[in-house]
Chain A
Amino acid sequence: MAIEVRIPTILRSYTGGAKAVEGSGATLDDLLNNLDAAHGGLRERLVDGEKLRRFVNVYLNDEDVRFLGGLETPVKDGDTVTVLPAVAGGAR
């Protein structure tokens, strides 16, 4: 068993075009480090220093991890993590 991570189009250059990859870890932070070992540079698109980037949405199953524990959110085998770049913009 593993944790499935669904990757948006714009980040598939890090996964050789794959829409989903698998990883493991006890927390989201661990999982991202684990993924980065196989897909170098992916973590940095999601994490800025010690925090998740503001304009990237990461979901654990059906919930935005901002409402769970951010990077400290516990994850387990069988979970699905989905990454979607935020859709945003403005007048300036």
Chain B
Amino acid sequence: MLTISRAIYEKIIEHARKDHPDEACGVVAGPAGSDNPTRFIPMQNAERSPTFYRFDSQEQLKVWREMDDNDEEAVVIYHSHTATQAYPSRTDISYASEPQAHYVLVSTRDETETEFRSFLIVDGEVTEEPVVVTE
């Protein structure tokens, strides 16, 4: 189950909408072991593509080091699909390499309705989980 504040939930959706039609991506960090996403970190999509995303490697190093210094981990790793469903693709699954993270997929394929779903991806297996948005 992913528990996330409304404020951060909306920031993720806003980021996806803003970058549409390119895929948007980012992290929500939280205290290590807490499973609580507290710090919203939008990232550059170094691919700047409507069908692929990749964190810029230097930016990733900076963010990962900060999280380490703060005793945080990547609780949520999010990205958007701009023309397909909010479900992990084959490439999403093969590149998922943070086993503790909740992989959030947002779809901006519809102009008015944004899909927001969350998944655990461990050893190539995808499990969808409920999303609880707290006020």
A residues near B (Cβ < 8 Å) are: 8-10, 55, 57, 59, 62-64, 66, 82, 84-92
Would you give 19 A-B contacts (Cβ < 8 Å), ordered by A? A10-B98, A64-B61, A82-B61, A84-B60, A84-B64, A86-B57, A88-B52, A89-B79, A89-B89, A90-B49, A90-B89, A91-B50, A91-B51, A91-B82, A91-B83, A91-B84, A91-B89, A92-B89, A92-B91
User: Tally of A-B residue pairs with Cβ under 8 A?
Assistant: 81
A8 close to B97 (CB less than 8 A): yes
B residues near A (Cβ < 8 Å) are: 23, 25, 27, 43, 47, 49-55, 57-58, 60-61, 64, 77, 79, 81-84, 88-92, 95-100
B91 close to A90 (CB less than 8 A): yes
A66 and B52 in contact (CB under 8 A), knowing A9-B98, A55-B95, A89-B96? no
A90 close to B23 (CB less than 8 A): yes
| Chain B residue contacts of A8, Cβ below 8 A | 97
B77 close to A87 (CB less than 8 A): yes
B81 close to A91 (CB less than 8 A): yes
- In the bound complex, CA of A47 to CA of B83 (Å): 34
A10 close to B91 (CB less than 8 A): no
B99 close to A88 (CB less than 8 A): no
Of A62, A88, A92, the residue contacting B61 (CB under 8 A) is A62
Measured between C-beta atoms, what is the minimum distance from A45 to chain B in Å? 10
- In the bound complex, CA of A87 to CA of B47 (Å): 12
A84 close to B61 (CB less than 8 A): yes
Measured between C-beta atoms, what is the minimum distance from A32 to chain B in Å? 18
